[in-house]
Amino acid sequence: MGRDTGPKCRKCRREEEKLFIKGDRCYASSCPVSQRSSPPGELPKKRRTRRSQYLLHLREKQKVRRIYGIRERQFRNYFAQAKQGKGITGETLLVLLERRFDNALYRAGFASSRNQARQMISHGHFQVNGRGANIPSIILREGDVVAVKEGRRARVKAILEANKGRVAPSWLEKDLEAMTVQAIGSPNLEETGYSIAVNLIVEFYSR
């Protein structure tokens, strides 16, 4: 699968809010979103122009894609899967994205960003239920246990120390001593920390 190697801070500026896709820099005063209020390529406007309904739908969809760092085809597949499942389509979509292997590691503080989590997974730093796992898109189910491999603990320990202030969501239980994280429930969308209008995404794909 192709990788988006473009500037990450421009993505946040385009959505006009912090998406926390660049780790520690997002919390620093040097974050470009804090310094520039206008999207890239545009000068600050004294009067905001009215957005069309299509643009509102598109921007919400792009925002979620950029938060979780996934490509359009994969995002469409998640939407199709959510549409076939039970419950509200938009909420089911976000639950699927939250359950991704790379996102769970980021939420638990085992990585400073989702990009870093994907890299570490691809390099074989972790196991799922005692077996090696190097696919970031694995969907964790209730009861699944993620553990750091023995030979990779030093690097992950340093990351955990740097992220010790990050509180894991209620659906994840982490053990810093054993360096494990377990899925113990279903993601609570109120804990994501983002303001996402899922109905706009559903309307975008229902056109």
Residue 1 lies in a domain: no
pLDDT value of position 194: 84
Query: What residue type is 126 in one-letter code?
Result: F
pLDDT value of position 25: 55
Distance CA 204, CA 55 (A): 10
This prediction's pTM:
0.81
pLDDT value of position 16: 57
pLDDT value of position 27: 54
Residue 14 lies in a domain: yes
- Mean pLDDT value across residues 158-185: 92
Residue 3 lies in a domain: no
Domain range for 178: 100-186
Q: For residues 72 and 147, state if they share a domain.
A: no
- DSSP secondary structure of 32-67: HHHH--SPTT----SSPPPPPHHHHHHHHHHHHHHH
Q: For residues 153 and 74, state if they share a domain.
A: no
Residue 165 lies in a domain: yes
Residue 2 lies in a domain: no
Pairing mode of beta strands 126-128, 131-132: antiparallel
pLDDT value of position 1: 46
88-143 per-position pLDDT tens digit: 999 999 999 999 999 999 999 999 999 999 999 999 999 999 999 999 999 999 99
- HEC sequence for 153-192: HHHHHHHHHHCCCCCCCCCEEEECCCCEEEECCCCCHHHC
For the domain that residue 17 is a member of, what is the CATH number?
1.10.1050.10
- Mean pLDDT value across residues 181-199: 91
Residues 6 or more apart whose Cβ sits within 8 Å of residue 20? 26, 67, 113, 193
48-85 per-position pLDDT tens digit: 667 799 989 999 999 999 999 999 999 999 999 999 98
- Mean pLDDT value across residues 151-170: 90
Sheet strands side by side (includes 126-128): 131-132, 126-128, 145-148, 180-183, 172-175
Q: By three-state DSSP, how is residue 148 classified?
A: strand
Distance CA 89, CA 78 (A): 10
Residue 12 lies in a domain: yes
DSSP 102: H
Distance CA 134, CA 168 (A): 22
**Burial class, 177, CB count within 10 angstroms (exposed 0-12 / middle 13-18 / buried 19+):** exposed
Residue 148 lies in a domain: yes
User: Could you give the count of Cα atoms lying within 13 Å of 171 in the half-sphere of its Cβ?
Assistant: 21
Q: For residues 71 and 106, state if they share a domain.
A: no
- Mean pLDDT value across residues 27-55: 65
Domain count, the chain: 2
Q: 155 pLDDT exceeds 70? A: yes
